[in-house]
Amino acid sequence: MRADGPEDGDPDDLTLFLRDIVTSIGAVVLLGLYIFMISGVWPPMVAIESGSMEPNMSQNDLVFVMETDRFQPDAAHGDTGVVTAQQGAEIGYQQFGNSGDVIVYNPQGNENVTPIIHRAMFWVEEGENWCDRANDEFYVEEEQCNSAPHAGFITKGDHNPTYDQAGTGNLEPVKPEWIVGTAEVRVPGLGWLRLQF
């Protein structure tokens, strides 16, 4: 005759619950490590905080980011792993609805501020007057683009009216070492959860 309670050797409810918790945590950790191994970036996903990349990326989207030296396109500028919008337009390379790569970078190389996710428009050399190569719709005055303090990428949010290096923030061109990675995949709305915690 069988009793209603657990038999010897049968796990009780608490043991099953703890096993489920440990298994779930283990699965999440393994998934995180797998994504990190592929992307080379930690954290491998970023949440979009503003509308500066609309309509191609929206506030609260979650974006998977990959290190620039992984799976580099042939059209990448030098060894940066980044295809500029200018180069992308020439060869038909698009990411997120427009030519060129979308990069995640630390403004002025400062890792203590929120990274920016904008499109790499074109590359400038140190001392270059980049007004000739810029679209004059995206800067206010010629003084804003006359001489690059160092080589790097000129960037712009798809929805923003000016280049990052010519707007009110007056950022310097983005050095390759300031780049966290390139945006690869977007999941609409899922970034809301990340922004809450």
> Does 60 share its domain with 153?
yes
> Does 122 share its domain with 60?
yes
pLDDT attached to residue 173: 95
- pLDDT digit string (tens) for the chain, length 197 residues: 455 555 555 678 888 899 999 999 999 888 888 887 777 787 778 889 999 999 999 999 989 998 887 777 778 888 899 999 999 999 999 999 999 999 999 999 999 999 999 999 999 999 998 888 888 778 766 666 778 899 999 999 999 998 998 866 679 999 999 999 999 989 888 777 766 66
Range(s) of the domain holding residue 27: 11-40
pLDDT attached to residue 151: 95
> Does 27 share its domain with 112?
no
Is 3 within a domain?
A: no
> Does 107 share its domain with 171?
yes
> Does 118 share its domain with 140?
yes
> Does 98 share its domain with 142?
yes
Is 2 within a domain?
A: no
Q: Are 45 and 180 spatial neighbours (Cβ–Cβ below 8 Å)?
A: no
pLDDT attached to residue 7: 58
Is 111 within a domain?
A: yes
pLDDT attached to residue 54: 94
> Does 168 share its domain with 106?
yes
Is 6 within a domain?
A: no
pLDDT attached to residue 8: 56
> Does 88 share its domain with 159?
yes
> Does 135 share its domain with 174?
yes
Sign for the CA dihedral angle at 60, 102, 146, 160 comes to negative
> Does 146 share its domain with 60?
yes
Is 5 within a domain?
A: no
> Which of 59, 63, 66 is CA-nearest to residue 37?
66
> Which of 57, 88, 64, 41 is CA-nearest to residue 189?
57
Is 4 within a domain?
A: no
pLDDT attached to residue 38: 78
What single-letter amino acid sits at 183? A
3-class SS string, the chain: CCCCCCCCCCCCHHHHHHHHHHHHHHHHHHHHHHHHHHHCCCCCEEECCCCCCCCCCCCCCEEEEECCCCCCCCCCCCCCCCCCHHHHHHHCCEECCEEECEEEECHHHCCCCCCEEEEEEEEECCCCCHHHCCCHHHCCCHHHHCCCCCCEEEEECCCCCCCCCCCCCCCCCECHHHEEEEEEEEECCCHHHHHHC
Is 56 within a domain?
A: yes
> Does 175 share its domain with 145?
yes
> Does 36 share its domain with 78?
no
Total of domains in the chain: 2
Q: Which two tokens stand for residue 165?
A: 């290096």
